[in-house]
């Protein structure tokens, strides 16, 4: 199997493909180089996320390629969609056993959290971006929202969310007032800014320096769990498995 073209600009810095000069760079979703796909004449295009908007372009530019899109479907449980993604990829690439093993690992991580979690412990989920600490709403929030449903977590704060990629605009004071016993964090800048070489303030420093959060139970007791660094650009089942195992260890 040869990876001929990809949005190399968006790949995590620790992805070995990022330094592979043989891979044609399709750019980013903001500044794509879609025509580059013509030269590689792909047999298969795995498309999704923000590149979904360019599906028709890929159909035109690579008419002989099979196009597979595995974005989570509206109305379907996110947990099931994570499994569907890996099952389909396992079938496509003849790696069904590997896909099953990844799903088993994921299921074990979910069970580990559920076995260790006391529903009386309230949970807050936040996304740090641009030096700000933003709320990620239960169920609907970007990346972290579905975690409540997958793990049966009790929200410290119930509020509507948009699923915005930087989180929702609810004050740090409101977050602090909810006094969560556990805080789960996605550091967007750890993936985006670090990936492009830009300076940024890590999530743990933002939380440590936030005066409003210093009396929050989770902060005082060190009950803060951070998603893997490149979660924002790599939200697959392996990422959630790693994260859930970290949560289980923290409980």
pLDDT (tens digit, 9 = 90+) per residue, 60-93?
A: 999 999 999 998 888 899 999 999 999 999 999 9
The answer to whether residues 65 and 104 belong to one domain is no
Q: Which residues contact 244 (CB under 8 A, 6 or more apart)?
A: 106, 109, 110, 112, 113, 151
Contact in structure between 242 and 230 (CB atoms under 8 Å): no
Give the number of domains in the chain: 2
Asked whether residue 210 is assigned to any structural domain, the reply reads yes
pTM listed for this prediction: 0.90
Rounded CA gap, 144 and 136, in Å? 6
Classify residue 241: in a domain, yes or no: yes
Domain of residue 107 covers 99-250
* Cα 125 from Cα 170, distance rounded (Å): 12
At 134, which CATH number?
3.40.50.1980
Together in a domain, 44 and 128: no
Please indicate, yes or no, if residue 76 is contained in any of the structural domains: no
Of 234, 230, 135, 143, the C-alpha closest to 183 is 135
pLDDT tens digit string along 18-61?
889 999 999 888 888 999 999 999 999 999 888 888 899 999 99
Boundary of a domain, candidates 69, 89, 121:
69
Residue 131 DSSP SS3: coil
Domain end call among 48, 69, 90: 69
Structure confidence at residue 145 (pLDDT): 93
Confirm whether 93 is domain-assigned. Answer: no
> Among 51, 69, 87, which residue terminates a domain?
69
Interior/surface letters 129-160, b for 16+ CB within 10 angstroms, e for the rest: beebbbbbbbeebbbbbbbbebbebbbbbeee
Task: Give a yes or no: residue 90 inside a domain.
Answer: no
* Averaged pLDDT for residues 102-116: 98
Q: How many Å apart are CA 140 and CA 160, to the nearest integer?
A: 8
pLDDT in tens, 188-216: 998 888 666 778 899 999 999 999 999 99
Could you tell me if 136 and 49 lie in one domain? no
């Amino acid at each position: 199997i040869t990876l001929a073209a990809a949005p190399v600009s968006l790949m995590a810095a620790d992805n070995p493909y990022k330094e592979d000069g043989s891979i044609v760079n399709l750019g980013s979703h903001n500044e794509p180089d879609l025509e580059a796909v013509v030269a590689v004449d792909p047999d298969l295009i795995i498309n999704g996320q923000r590149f979904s908007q360019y599906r028709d372009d890929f159909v035109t530019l690579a008419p002989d390629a099979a196009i597979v899109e595995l974005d989570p479907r509206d109305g379907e449980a996110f947990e099931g969609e994570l499994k569907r993604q890996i099952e389909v990829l396992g079938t496509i690439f003849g790696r069904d056993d590997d896909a099953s093993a990844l799903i088993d690992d994921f299921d074990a991580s979910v069970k580990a959290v559920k076995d260790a979690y006391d529903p009386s412990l309230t949970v807050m989920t936040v996304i740090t971006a641009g030096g700000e600490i933003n709320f990620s709403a239960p169920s609907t929030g970007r990346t972290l929202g579905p975690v409540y449903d997958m793990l049966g977590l009790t929200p410290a704060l119930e509020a509507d969310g948009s699923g915005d990629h930087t989180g929702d605009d609810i004050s740090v004071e409101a977050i602090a007032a909810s006094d969560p016993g556990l805080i789960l964090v996605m550091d967007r800048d750890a993936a985006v800014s670090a990936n492009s070489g830009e300076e940024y303030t890590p999530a743990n420093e933002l939380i440590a320096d936030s005066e409003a959060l210093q009396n929050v139970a989770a902060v005082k007791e060190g009950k803060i769990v951070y998603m893997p660094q490149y979660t924002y650009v790599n939200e697959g089942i392996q990422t959630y498995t790693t994260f859930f195992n970290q949560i289980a260890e923290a409980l």
